[in-house]
A = this chain, B = another copy of it.
């Protein structure tokens, strides 16, 4: 298992519950109890997910004794966007080709319809 930052980030994102936790935190900091509420999950299960997100730097947890809010961190998400951006030209070309192909199919269908 590699421990480079980007690999840790992608591994942490490879779970729908963890992605849902990030979506929740995008609208503001929240306590562990608040984060766990919508998932009907045991506190230890929530804590385990939060630890994975924390190790990947995607969230940080405050140190106030009572309310230790978790916060979303921008940097790893920005790194993911930077990484995938290098493939933009690739997928735009691919989708353009698919579009052309579908238009050709439609044109052909219309022509076939006319000659039948």
A39 interface contact, C-beta 8 A? no
Chain A residues 78 to 108 lying within 8 A of chain B, measured CB to CB, are 78, 80-81, 83-88, 90-91, 93-95
Q: Are A84 and B91 in contact (CB under 8 A)?
A: no
Say how many copies of this protein the assembly contains. Answer: 2
Question: Which residues between 21 and 68 of chain A lie within 8 Å of chain B, taking CB atoms?
Answer: 22-23, 26
* A84 and B95 contact, CB distance less than 8 A: no
The CA of A16 and the CA of B91, in the complex, are separated in Å by 21
| Given A72-B90, A77-B87: A10 and B2 interface contact (C-beta under 8 Å) | no
Q: Which of B22, B23, B26, B80 contacts A80 (CB 8 A)?
A: B80
Contacts of A16 in B (CB 8 A): 2, 4, 6-7
* A88–B85 CA distance with the chains assembled, in angstroms: 13
